[in-house]
Amino acid sequence: MKKLMTLAILMVALNSFASQDSIFIRKIYDEALVSGQCYENLRSLCKDVGARITGSAEAKMAIKWGHDLLSSYGFDNVYLQEIKVPHWERGTTEAGWMLNEQKEMLKMNILALGGSVGTEGLLEGEIILVESVEDLEKVGKEKIKGKIVFFNKPFDQTQINTFKAYGACANQRWEGATKAALYDAKAVIIRSLAQSTDEHAHTGSMHYEEGVMQIPAAAISTVDADRMLEWLQKGKVYVKMEMDCRYYADETSYNVIAEMTGNEDDKIITFGGHLDSWDVGEGAHDDGAGIVHSIEAIRILHKLNYFNNHTLRCVLFMNEENGNFGGKYYAEIATENNEKHICAIESDRGGFLPIGFDIQGTPEQVELVRQFKDLLFDFELYKFEPGYSGVDIRPLLNHYPEMLQLGMVINSQEYFDYHHAETDVFESVNKRELELGSAAMAAIIYLMDKTL
């Protein structure tokens, strides 16, 4: 009888806690949807600052923008964390044309890949089609030597999760130039990593291996890729292209950090997105949305006078796009300072409708997060599965292997229409979906703070 009474008391207590959580999360959503500031903050970041590639004047102004905004909210601490970052510039606008044996000529929509070398004038060459990086060996050096390799691996349209389609062909952008150079290619052109067929080229990071010839690398729009494929079926195709991109010396930059100090201990829950973006568009979805999600989350918790157990630290990371030195330095500095990190959460998948969180952790940590599935279902958050957290926070796991990490999951169907392209502008973001993302971020921070 005593055991039954104890169990009944425990169930009543659990139901009471769940009810309190539901009430507080409702307050979070009400604040975000009625009095939210994330949409105006995103407008300001996109329009008043602009695209923010690492090392640029705009990146420097974004740091000031973030520090000033966070300081205005009255958090316990707001400060800059010094880091070293690379400085690559696109230079003059790229130009490229494709020509065929029928004397047709087409001006291409073309963007240098981030980190590419320039062409040193107008580069000319015959196109050789290679379906994927893995097919280079099959084609062979004899056919590739002196030509421009065209990697044409498209998104798998059968994938429901478009990030899986992206991941399956991203290596042609990252390592295509280095691998093709081993076969004496003159340059590399890739089909843009995009879901849709349109006229917008999508840039993105690539790298060179030490000791391998550095050759120019560019992306062309999916429309141009389809046209090039059509022409190749009729005969030889040639490309003329010019790019003026180059690297400069590394620079000093900063992560921007705001904190609500823990009331019970000095353990830390980190959350954030990356402040830098590519130099085309305005970086609205990638990752302006994640930045304002994170700022709005800590603003809401502060506004609601939340009494947090652990230190809640909002981090605006610099340099995710072409090096991730913001995330790497953050993790190293945390270790040097003997900080106690227990959880990290990232938003870096756009300002679309949030549907849950990927969980990077042990089976026990996965179950810990899943216990909130019913609580969050009414707020249309339902996906809580093992997955990837985020590029910026991932280095923390090298120093804190037992910590829990979460990555916000969004409806991904439109994301790769904008990713790394000129279309990634403020006008492409839906106000209500952005606000829901901010509320979801605040809710999961609240639950992690109470539970861990």
CATH number of the domain that 308 lies in? 3.40.630.10
pLDDT given for residue 11 in this prediction: 43
Q: Both 179 and 276 in a single domain?
A: no
Look at residue 316 in the predicted model and tell me its pLDDT: 98
Provide the pLDDT for residue 15: 55
Domain hosting 179: range is 91-244
SS (H, E, C) 269-334: EEEEEECCCCCCCCCHHHHHHHHHHHHHHHHHHHHCCCCCCCEEEEEEECCCCCCCHHHHHHHHHH
Which of 202, 226, 244 finishes a domain?
A: 244
Question: Domain check: are 199 and 257 in the same one?
Answer: no
pLDDT score for 93: 82
State the Cα torsion 53-55-61-64 to the nearest 10°.
Answer: 110
Q: Where among 244, 276, 301 does a domain terminate?
A: 244
Q: Is residue 12 part of a domain?
A: no
Element containing residue 184 per DSSP (H, E): none
110-112, strands of its sheet edge to edge = 105-107, 95-100, 237-242, 123-130, 148-151, 187-191, 217-220, 110-112
* Residue-by-residue DSSP string for 22-49: HHHHHHHHHHHHHH--HHHHHHIIIIII
Return phi, psi of residue 333, to 5°: -65, -40
Asked if the structure places residue 22 within a domain, the reply is no
pLDDT of residue 7: 40
Return the pLDDT at 368.
97
The pLDDT value given to residue 19: 81
Among 334, 327, 363, residue whose Cα is nearest residue 267: 334
Q: Which residues does the chain have with pLDDT short of 50?
A: 1-14
Let me know if residue 18 belongs to a domain.
Answer: no
How many residues make up the chain in this entry? 452
Question: 209 and 194, same structural domain?
Answer: yes
Regarding whether 177 and 124 lie in a shared domain, the answer is yes
Quote the tokens at residue 121: 């004038």
* Residue 391 to residue 404: CA distance in whole angstroms: 15
* pLDDT score for 9: 45
- The domain that holds 162 is classified in CATH as 3.50.30.30
Query: Are 216 and 188 a contacting pair, CB within 8 Å?
Result: yes
- Please indicate, yes or no, whether residues 37 and 61 belong to a single structural domain of this protein: yes
* Number of domains observed in the structure of the chain: 2
The residues near 270 (Cβ < 8 Å, ≥ 6 apart) are 313, 315, 330, 341, 343, 344, 345, 393, 396
- Specify if 369 maps to a domain: yes
Residue 4 has a pLDDT of 43
